[in-house]
Structure 1
Amino acid sequence: MEYSVVFAALWVISATVVALLPMRMQFPPGVLLLICAPVLIVWLGYDYGVIVGLLALAGFLSMFRYPLRYYWLKWTGHEVSE
């Protein structure tokens, strides 16, 4: 088994554990997971092809849709409701 699959599975388990934490404790590990995800997605796509990479990207976007939307609005200068 490729290391990319092992690390992707560990990433998913880590994201699940972080989601179970209280909200005030989710931010630091959540940012770390958010930073690591693109590297893992590209690595999976490199090892298994574009389709697997796109599926991993869809899963990532599904899991982080609200934080990504929040930062996108903040970075583009739109009003962000806190």
Structure 2
Amino acid sequence: MTLSLVLACCWAVAANVLAMLPSRNNYWRRAYVLMALGVPILGFVTWQNGPWVGLFVMVGGMSVLRWPVIYLGRWMRRKLG
């Protein structure tokens, strides 16, 4: 397994552990940190393993951070229509 996939797996484990811990601000601060760490890891995965593996890792990250993706979709829908 490549270093980028190991980092992506560590990111996924950390995201799941952080989701299990209680939070006062509905996990948004943790989501911002996970996004800031996940985007470079996603780029590294795509660069090292190709676009299909990068797409698979991106879908996995979107499933973990689904509420920011939902709010982004709602915001874009409001702006476009």
Question: With structure 1 as the length reference, what TM-score do the two structures score?
Answer: 0.74
**Does the 8 Å CA contact 2:45/2:54 hold for their aligned counterparts?**
yes
Task: Please list every run of at least 4 consecutive aligned residues from structure 1 whose deviation after the TM superposition is greater than 3 angstroms.
Answer: 71-74
Q: Which residue of 2 aligns with 1:14?
A: 14
Aligned residues: 77
Distance 1:77 1:24, change over 3 A: farther
CA RMSD of aligned residues (A): 2.0
Q: Which has the higher contact order (CA 8 A, sep 6+)?
A: 2
Identical residues among aligned pairs (%): 27
* Deviation by residue 1:17-75 (Cα, 9 ceiling, x = unmatched): 1110113263333211111111111111111111100101111112212122225545x
Aligned equivalents of 1:14, 1:44: Cα separation in 2? 17
1:51-62 correspondence runs (5 A): 51-62=52-63
Q: Does 1:64 align with 2:65?
A: yes
Give the gaps of 5 or more residues in structure 1.
none
The range that moved more, 45-54 or 33-42, is: 33-42
Question: Secondary structure of the equivalent of 1:35?
Answer: helix
